[in-house]
Amino acid sequence: EDYAFNLQTALFEHVLGFLKSNQSKQNLFFEIVIFVRQKTSEMHAKILIIGACGQIGTELTKKLRSQYGKDAVIASDVRKGSPEFVNSGPFEVVNALDFNQVETVIEKYQIEDVYLMAALLSATAEKNPAFAWDLNMNSLFHVLNLAKAGKIKKIFWPSSIAVFGPTTPKDNTPQYTVMEPSTVYGISKQSGERWCEYYHNIFGVDVRSIRYPGLISWSTPPGGGTTDYAVDIYYKALSDGKYECFLSENTELPMMYMDDAIRATISIMDAPKENIKIRSSYNLAGISFTPKEIAAEIKKHIPDFSISYVPDFRQKIADSWPSSIDDSYARKDWGWKHEFDLESMTKDMLEHLSENV
Ligand code: AKB
C-alpha cells in the first residue's frame, strides 16, 4: 500500500507539472506511460524470498511488496502456496537444496537481496535429523557461495534462540555466552552462524542474521516449532474454547509478535553495512511469558476459555532454551526496539483470527 500510494502521489504531481507546461496535451498519455516505466525501473533492488510460504516468509513477502512494489519481490518455495498468495506477485517454484534452481532464479530476475527462510524447525527436525541438517545447512551454503561469486549482494539468514542449550544462562541470556545446543535445529543454527561469520570475514559476503525468539502470527497455522503452542492456543481458544498445551504451565520462553519480527528483519537488512558489527547473529527480544500467562491474557477476552497441560517431547527442548534474552547489541547497533507486549499481541491476534476462523 505504501509503495502504491507514493507512486500515485508522484504521478499526480508529475501530471500537474505537465499540464502547467506549454507541451502539447495530446502527449499526456505517452508522458504518463514513460513516467510510470521510469519510476518502476527505479524500484528497490530485486528481492528473492526462499521459503516464502512459511510462517515468516508469507508476512515478509507482503511487507516487502508494500514497501518496494509487488514486482520488486520474487516469492519462492519448494511447492506452490495458496492461489491467493501465488497470484499476489511474482512466484517461482524453487527447491532451496537445488543450487541450479536457486542460481537460475537469481539470474532470471537480476536478484540483489536474498532472504533465506526455508528450514525445518525444532520439533520437526527432531523427527527427521538428516533432512533437517541437509536443508538447514546446504540451502545456506548455496546462497553464501552465490554471494561469494558476486551473484547476490546481501543475504538475510534466520538464526534462533535454539542456538542456546541447557548450560546457557537462562535469564536475560547475553549475546556472547556458553552455547551447547541439544537439538538438531539448534546445532544447525549454531553451525550456520559460524559459517555466516566465516563467509563475511574471509570472502566479504554481506550476510545478516537474527536469533529469532518464538514467533506468533495469525496469518499461517503453527509450523512444527516448540514455541508454536503460543500460536495454536489462539486458534483453539476461538474454535474450541479450550487448549491442551504440550508444555508445562510455568515454561517461560522468549517470544515476539510477527509484526515486530518483520520490522526487525527489514531493519537489519536496510541498516548501513558499517552498523552491522555482529556477523554471526544478533540476539533479539520481545516478550517472555509462560503458557499460564498467555492463557490468563486470552481469558480476558474469552472468559470461558480453559487450558490443560500435557507435556510431551517438546518440554525437554523448551527446558534447554533461555527464559529471556538480552538484545542490547541489536538496540545499540541498528536501533532495534520491540513494540508489542502480551496484551496488545493477544488483542491483535484474536481480532484477526476472529475474522478468519
Ligand atoms: C521453534 O520453536 O522451533 C522456533 C524457534 C524458537 O526458532 N519457533
Q: What are phi and psi of 188, to 5 degrees?
A: -65, -35
| Cβ pair 291, 237 in contact under 8 A | no
Is-catalytic flag, 185? yes
Q: What is the mean pLDDT of residues 189-217?
A: 98
| pLDDT band for position 43 (cuts 50, 70, 90) | low
Distance CA 69, CA 36 (A): 12
What local confidence, expressed as pLDDT, does residue 23 receive? 82
Q: What is the mean pLDDT of residues 335-351?
A: 97
Pocket test for ligand 1, best of 55, 121, 183 (most atoms within 8 A of CB): 121
| pLDDT band for position 39 (cuts 50, 70, 90) | low
Q: What is the mean pLDDT of residues 313-340?
A: 97
State the closest ligand 1 atom to the C-alpha of 213, by its place in the atom list counted from 1: 6
For CA atoms 126, 129, 132, 133, give the dihedral sign: positive
Distance CA 236, CA 202 (A): 48
Residues with CB under 6 A from ligand 1: 121-122, 160-162, 185, 212, 214-215, 225-227
Query: Looking at the predicted structure, is the pLDDT value of residue 57 above 90?
Result: yes
Compute, in angstroms, the gap from residue 184 CA to the centroid of ligand 1.
12
